[in-house]
Amino acid sequence: ADFLDLFYESFRELDPNGSLAAIFATMELKDKVKFNSTNEEVMQVLKQETAGAVDRTFNILRTRIDRFGVAQPNIQKLQTTGRILIELPGIKDPDRVRKLLQGSARLEFWPTYNFDEVYQFFDEADKRLLTIYKEEGLISTEDSLTSAEGKPTDKSDTLPTNESDTGLLARLVDSAKLQETKQTSFEEYAKEHPLYAYLIPSYYPDENNQYRPANTARVGSAAIKDTARINAMLKKVKDVFPSNMRLYWTVKPDPQRPGILDLVAIKVTRPDGQAPLGGEVVVDARQDVNPTTGGVEVSMSMNREGAAEWKRITAENIGRQVAIVLDGYVYSYPVVQSEISGGRSSISGGGMTVEEAKDLANILQSGRLPAPARIVQEEVVGPSLGREAINASVKSFIAAFLIVLLYMFFYYNRGGLIANLALCLNLFFIFGVLASFGAVLTLPGIAGIVLTMGMAIDANVIIYERILEEVRAGKGLRLAIADGYKNSYSAIIDGNVTTLLTGIILFIFGSGPIQGFATTLIIGIISSLFTAILVSRVIMEWWANKGYKLQFDNKITRGFLTKAHFDFIGIRKYAYIFSIALIVLAIGSFIFKGLNYGVDFTGGRTYIVRFDRNVDVPEVREHLTNEFGETPEVKTFGPNNQVKITTKYMINEEGIEVDSLINRKIYNALSGLYANKINFEQFASDLNQSGKLTGILTSQKVGPTIAYDLRRNAILAVFFALIGIFTYIATRFKKWQFGLGGVTSLFHDTIIIIGLFSIFHSILPFNLEVDQSFIAAILTIIGYSINDTVVIFDRIREYNKLYPKRDLKVNMNAAINSTLARTMNTAGTTLVTLLMMFIFGGETLRGFLFALILGIIFGTYSSVFNASAIAYDTMKNKWNKK
């Protein structure tokens, strides 16, 4: 049962005939709960409101985390509990994250009372408290002030007795008692003024040295440690104060008065007690710097309604202060100098840091939480890949990278050494920028790096193949280098700009793992262009100017594929038939067999299991996979003898029998990992049993991490990326047919990869789940394939300009054949890297790498056989007429 069911049971026990409508027929629910509504109807409304609040909170928290910049967070709703599970990788400042998650963003703009308008109420409260404490026996003529619990007040709380601070006490009384007050000890003063002993009211001397109440919304100041005591005092005498006055503390001390908070008097002007202007009118918020003071602030923009109300409030309070209150604390209470139009405002004060201002802007932009969020449990979670898998992946990547470096040196001779240096610098720059951003490495991030490394290699290969063409044309080395770079720029820039455009669109419209992929892709492309075009050329020209021997081939690689004359356009119909057959097979498998969706899409059950010894995550995962027939997600959860298991096994089934069956299967899988024998009853006993040391500690059904709107955003992001690719290619190449060919080949690659995952997911001996990493793989395939296609299109464009009278088929075949060496080298080096990681990188990465390998193969195939063929078929008639 959830909380509402338990509440209703307790309500019926206390009052069997009680009516919930009498409690919940409020202004907020007036359209949903009537005074004559039945209890069942009220409960239905409450459950709908609760579910809606949880959903809104889930979306708001996810938005805050995305803007916070955490790569690939894991966010799941825990079913029926009203709790949300959030896993954030690589967090260095947990306190900052706690504030980000728990801030409700209840922003309010209030008019204020000045102290000279309400000082008499505080004087009366001070007197009333004295009477109360005497009646309660907390003050006598012999004892010092004691607390409400009867304990003496801490003598360390006494105010300093130097001249300046006794002046603070002196402000509490008229000047006739000034000297007497200066000599009064704190204990004696507190006997007469229990409130003013801790709250220093805003009395200031006038020109005649007479102490008067100040014309300010700050009614008093107090040490931070005394604010709770003052709150308790004010609560005792709340009937003394006007009903339309509220008191709020400032959020942080002023840097000029460390340790001191101000108490601000708020004026309530509306009958419903709400603020005249709330945070719902804020449409934009950002961290800024005040041009006058140089201090950090949060600048805000309001919508039309908010701007009009803000204009009215400021016009009515010229010369007075308006308090900006967030979550019950005053951030600033500036004096209104003039009417403010345009809906501009700012939050400052309290020594706000840049990080605090950024987080506050994030919270305000994400929206107000419908209910307060509280962190109920916090643990350090281990990596889902497992330490061994991570180490294996890193080692395999390094080995593959070294093989690529050796191959580049072998194929391009000394020119390959320059390419290798640029490649190493590129990798160094990428990781350096990611580290400076505080980014964490996730599978989508790895995918982005793999793609950019492939494109970096491709850029060097394009340049070197061009230089070799110039050398074969009889040009000298320096001229060949200059012309080689010059003639390769269009292909490199078009390919990289197209992929960069894709990355930018994915970053803008995507979220979660898609933004993580886009971030590394954008950084990688910029770094690749810098190292391949600028750094490598500087090194190469320096080398040539020094007179050192520089070669770009050897006896084995010289002339590789230079005499290729394959009729790619002529066999295009066979390629069409092969592609259509694969697409039909893929769609058929998708319809009749479906995909093996992972927990990211389906949700699942999560279990916290504790062992009596430290365990290895891969070992636990292997035992569970053998028992369940599928691979669950396993992470360490806190200490090394405790793991968190998430499985989608029987996710659509409910009931005690199902829970018992899953508990039994977990027991069967893991009981052998205990040092001391444990039986099933001990392992799966009451999860709430106090003192339980081993076995299943908690069990919970969790929702998907990729919610519906995240999937929708992913689809929209890819859709807009394809539109952007089509538009750029059609514009840049001045032929819409090229854009059609490029986008069609991308659809071809994507459908086939998804279909192959559907066909092989129960056949191949490794996990082929569709999860966040699969999304990253698909995005990588799109980026790689379009880069490959654009390079070929660039050569076709060049040949069409050089030979405008020649048959289009001849030009296209010649262009494709002339880029074969580049295509084979780029695809080959990328595949070697992926194959090494696939074979030696560990079980958990195989599905992800398998998708990338398929993507490189079919992306290369479609670029050569399909994209150009589609462009040819759609433009041949017009070309022949010309």
Write out pLDDT tens, residues 555-611.
888 877 778 889 999 999 999 999 999 999 999 998 998 888 877 777 788 888 989
Q: Which amino acid is at 601?
A: F
Question: What is the spatial order of strands in the sheet that 642-647 belongs to?
Answer: 83-87, 74-78, 695-702, 604-610, 642-647, 633-636
Q: Which residue has the tokens 């709250």?
A: 199
Angle, CA 633 vertex, CA 631 and CA 635 arms, to 5°:
135
pLDDT at 812: 93
Percent of the chain with pLDDT over 70: 83
Domain limits, the chain? 3-89, 109-366, 387-558+566-592+708-881, 604-702
Token pair recorded at residue 551:
């070669």
CA separation for the pair 19, 38 (Å, rounded): 7
Closest CA to 108 of 294, 223, 220, 273: 273
pLDDT at 177: 40
- Asked if residue 170 has pLDDT above 60, the reply is no
pLDDT at 582: 95
Lowest mean pLDDT among 17-21, 44-48, 467-471, 712-716: 712-716
Closest CA to 501 of 712, 729, 710, 742: 729
pLDDT at 375: 66
pLDDT band at 755 (very low <50, low <70, confident <90, very high): very high
pLDDT at 168: 41
- Greatest alpha-carbon span in the chain: 114
Identify the DSSP state of 692: -
Hey, CA dihedral for 854, 857, 859, 865, is it positive or negative? negative
Lowest mean pLDDT among 559-563, 648-652, 721-725: 559-563
Phi, psi for 377 (deg, rounded to 5):
-155, 145
- Residue pLDDT, tens place only, 324-333: 887 788 888 8
What number is the average pLDDT over the span 131-139? 78
Up-side HSE of residue 552: CA atoms within 13 Å toward CB?
Answer: 23
CA distances from 90 to 72, 115, 395, 620 (A): 10, 48, 21, 24
Contacts of 802 (CB under 8 A, 6+ apart): none
pLDDT band at 796 (very low <50, low <70, confident <90, very high): very high
What number is the average pLDDT over the span 707-723? 74
> For the domain bounded by 604-702, which CATH number is listed?
3.30.70
CA separation for the pair 808, 476 (Å, rounded): 32
Contacts of 820 (CB under 8 A, 6+ apart): 561, 564, 566
pLDDT at 813: 93
- Residue pLDDT, tens place only, 387-436: 565 666 677 778 888 888 898 888 888 888 988 998 899 888 988 887 77
CA separation for the pair 119, 315 (Å, rounded): 25
pLDDT at 733: 86
Closest CA to 229 of 325, 123, 332, 149: 149
pLDDT at 842: 65
Q: Which residue has the tokens 């290895």?
A: 616
pLDDT at 296: 82
Phi, psi for 114 (deg, rounded to 5):
-90, 150
Token pair recorded at residue 651:
């996710």
CA separation for the pair 198, 223 (Å, rounded): 8
Q: Count the neighbouring beta carbons within 10 Å of the beta carbon of residue 236.
A: 17
- Asked if residue 540 has pLDDT above 50, the reply is yes
CA separation for the pair 783, 609 (Å, rounded): 41
Token pair recorded at residue 279:
């945070």
Closest CA to 775 of 760, 758, 753: 753
Identify the DSSP state of 272: T
- Asked if residue 363 has pLDDT above 70, the reply is no
Which range, 44-53, 243-252, 548-557, is most confident? 243-252
CA separation for the pair 524, 456 (Å, rounded): 9
pLDDT at 172: 40
pLDDT band at 860 (very low <50, low <70, confident <90, very high): very high
Which range, 1-15, 97-111, 714-728, 814-828, is most confident? 814-828
DSSP class per residue in 473-522: TT--HHHHHHHHHHHHHHHHHHHHHHHHHHHHHHHHH--THHHHHHHHHH
> For the domain bounded by 109-366, which CATH number is listed?
3.30.1360.200
Whole-prediction pTM value?
A: 0.62
What number is the average pLDDT over the span 2-31? 82
pLDDT band at 58 (very low <50, low <70, confident <90, very high): confident
- Residue pLDDT, tens place only, 208-252: 888 889 999 999 999 988 998 999 999 999 999 999 999 999 988
Phi, psi for 857 (deg, rounded to 5):
-65, -55
What number is the average pLDDT over the span 175-201? 69
pLDDT at 752: 94
Lowest mean pLDDT among 308-312, 430-434, 849-853: 430-434
Q: Which residue has the tokens 């006490």?
A: 169
> Are the C-beta atoms of 388 and 618 separated by less than 8 Å?
yes
- Asked if residue 531 has pLDDT above 80, the reply is yes
Q: Is 263 helix (H, G, I), strand (E, B) or coil?
A: strand
Lowest mean pLDDT among 119-133, 469-483, 684-698: 684-698
pLDDT band at 182 (very low <50, low <70, confident <90, very high): very low
